[in-house]
């Protein structure tokens, strides 16, 4: 096992460099003054180039070949070696110059996007998006040749190991066909009940921050190993020992910031639950973004938008904002947080319409990568696609193709994992209900530890030991079954 051991040392150094890169990205989003953008671009590019050169060293290829012939590796070590090979394939498909150029282009594009988005100025952002897209296409082609798949699938594989569009298409097409009639039925039922009682603001930001932190703590977030900050786009970053969550607040609507925090707390609990014994090894990482998104959406959608959760949450929300009355009852709060509507903004969408936002982005990014859609035509294609899926047209680009950071920051192939994650979350939570007696009562009383412990055993602690299908089979008894998600929606919104 000499070669395998040498690889573990090499990949531990690679992981440390990646962690440093991640914290620089967090700082750029949450703390860095605008004047630091140029220097940060150089820092990130340099770190990514160093990491690339370290893994592209010819010695790594030799060690991988030798380690794959070594005997005596257990299941974790064998899975670790498999993940090392996967990372090596992705990294070495690109040359160092492309890695560095792509990093700089993404940093520049992201900073322009930050200024263009509030102004709804797509024309200012477009040249940088075009530069990123050109380099992403080059990287996708190189990786496709290495992996033996299409360019888009090569990008998808970075976020969803072994993910392929051929498997996603029928799942998304089925949901797109299911959505119109189901959405109409939900809206009709909702309309017959009448509107929920209004929650009058404003809601002071300090009170929102304190409330969010209190719910994070209740769910099990350890503030000795993490923090909550603000950014233009909510995210979870950092490392398992130092998890960084961000959200954005609105003093007219506390639900936006709070649900963003709860979503990112689900990500954080997954990171904290990864096995310490495999820290900084590929097998010790989260198993792809559909599983990661399943953990955030399980917390936000399955748990924290449930009727049981508001039995626990309502008194704390009333106390945080000094409110009383029927509008602040658990039932009325639940009605607000389970409201379904056709909206323009993905991150604010309800769980019924949310997949439509993802399907739109999935279809558009595939067309952009293939060259079937030019960036100049993106706003019009976005409007047409959203109208076809939800029957609405965004009034401006801020609420259209400028709303997400992903493409401007180089994350192509990521979007499908959100809806795959929502479907996975429904399936995992259904399995948790079967395994944990009285789970709804526990949630209603604020006892989240049993659920988090179960997730730790069934999902978090397995990290990347198993492929995604095998992980779902182990945790729930079957691979992904999209009908479980549809049954969840029917039970929540039509029963």
- Catalytic residues, which ones? 264
The interaxial angle of helices 254-273 and 449-458, nearest 10 deg, is 50
Question: Closest Cα to residue 64, out of 86, 85, 94?
Answer: 85
Whether the ω angle into residue 242 lies within 30 degrees of 0, i.e. cis, is no
User: Which DSSP symbol is given to 401?
Assistant: T
Contact 409, 109 (CB under 8 A): yes
Contact 463, 474 (CB under 8 A): no
Residues in the chain: 495
Q: Which two tokens stand for residue 7?
A: 């690889």
Give the three-state DSSP class for 89.
helix
**Phi and psi at residue 400, to the nearest 5°:** -120, -115
| Residue-wise burial string across 187-217, b where 16 or more C-beta atoms lie within 10 A, e elsewhere | eeebeeeeebbebeeebeeebbbebbbebbe
CA dist 10 and 434 (Å) reads: 42
User: Which DSSP symbol is given to 460?
Assistant: G
CB neighbour class for 3 (10 Å; exposed up to 12, middle 13-18, buried from 19): middle
Please, which residues have CB within 8 angstroms of residue 303's CB and are 6 or more apart in sequence? 309, 429, 443, 448, 451
Q: Which two tokens stand for residue 427?
A: 């399936």
User: Which DSSP symbol is given to 410?
Assistant: T
Give the three-state DSSP class for 230.
strand
Question: Closest Cα to residue 83, out of 93, 71, 75, 95?
Answer: 75
């Amino acid at each position: 096992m000499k070669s395998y051991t040498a690889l573990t040392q090499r990949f531990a150094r690679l992981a440390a460099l990646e962690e440093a890169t991640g914290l620089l990205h967090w700082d750029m989003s949450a703390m860095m003054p605008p004047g630091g953008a140029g220097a940060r671009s150089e820092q990130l590019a340099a770190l990514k180039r160093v990491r690339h050169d370290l893994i592209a060293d010819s010695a790594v290829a030799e060690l991988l070949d030798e380690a794959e012939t070594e005997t005596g590796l257990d299941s974790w070590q064998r899975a670790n070696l498999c993940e090392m090979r996967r990372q090596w394939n992705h990294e070495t498909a690109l040359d160092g110059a492309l890695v560095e150029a792509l990093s700089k282009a993404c940093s520049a594009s992201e900073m322009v996007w930050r200024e263009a988005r509030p102004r709804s100025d797509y024309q200012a952002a477009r040249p940088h998006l075009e530069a990123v897209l050109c380099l992403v296409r080059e990287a996708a082609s190189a990786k496709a040749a290495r992996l033996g798949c299409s360019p888009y699938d090569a990008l998808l594989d970075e976020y969803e190991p072994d993910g392929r569009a051929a498997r996603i298409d029928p799942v998304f097409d089925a949901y797109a066909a299911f959505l119109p009639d189901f959405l109409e039925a939900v809206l009709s039922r909702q309309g017959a009940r009448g509107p929920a009682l209004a929650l009058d603001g404003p809601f002071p930001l300090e009170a929102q921050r304190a409330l969010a932190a209190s719910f994070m703590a209740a769910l099990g977030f350890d503030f000795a190993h993490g923090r909550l900050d603000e950014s233009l786009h909510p995210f979870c970053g950092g490392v398992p020992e130092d998890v960084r969550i961000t959200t954005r607040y609105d003093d007219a609507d506390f639900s936006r910031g709070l649900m963003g925090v709860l979503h990112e707390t689900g990500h954080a609990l997954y990171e904290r639950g990864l096995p310490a014994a495999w820290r900084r090894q590929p097998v010790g990482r989260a198993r792809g973004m559909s599983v990661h998104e399943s953990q955030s959406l399980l917390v936000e959608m399955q748990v924290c938008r449930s009727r049981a959760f508001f039995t626990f949450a309502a008194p704390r929300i009333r106390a945080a904002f000094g409110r009383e009355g029927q509008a602040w009852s658990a039932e009325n709060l639940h009605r607000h947080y389970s409201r379904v509507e056709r909206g323009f903004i993905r991150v604010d969408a309800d769980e019924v319409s949310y997949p439509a936002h993802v399907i739109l982005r999935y279809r558009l990014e595939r067309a952009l990568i293939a060259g079937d859609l030019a960036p100049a035509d993106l706003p019009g294609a976005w409007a047409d696609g959203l109208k076809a899926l939800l029957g609405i047209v965004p009034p401006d680009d801020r609420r259209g193709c400028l709303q997400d950071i992903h493409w401007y920051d180089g994350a192509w192939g990521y979007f499908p994992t959100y809806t795959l994650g929502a479907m996975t979350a429904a399936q995992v939570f259904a399995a948790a209900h079967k395994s944990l007696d009285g789970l709804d009562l526990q949630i209603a009383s604020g006892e989240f530890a049993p659920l988090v412990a179960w997730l730790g055993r069934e999902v978090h602690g397995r990290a990347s030991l198993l492929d995604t299908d095998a992980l779902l089979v182990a945790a729930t008894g079957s691979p992904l079954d999209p009908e479980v998600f549809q049954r969840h929606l029917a039970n929540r919104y039509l029963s």
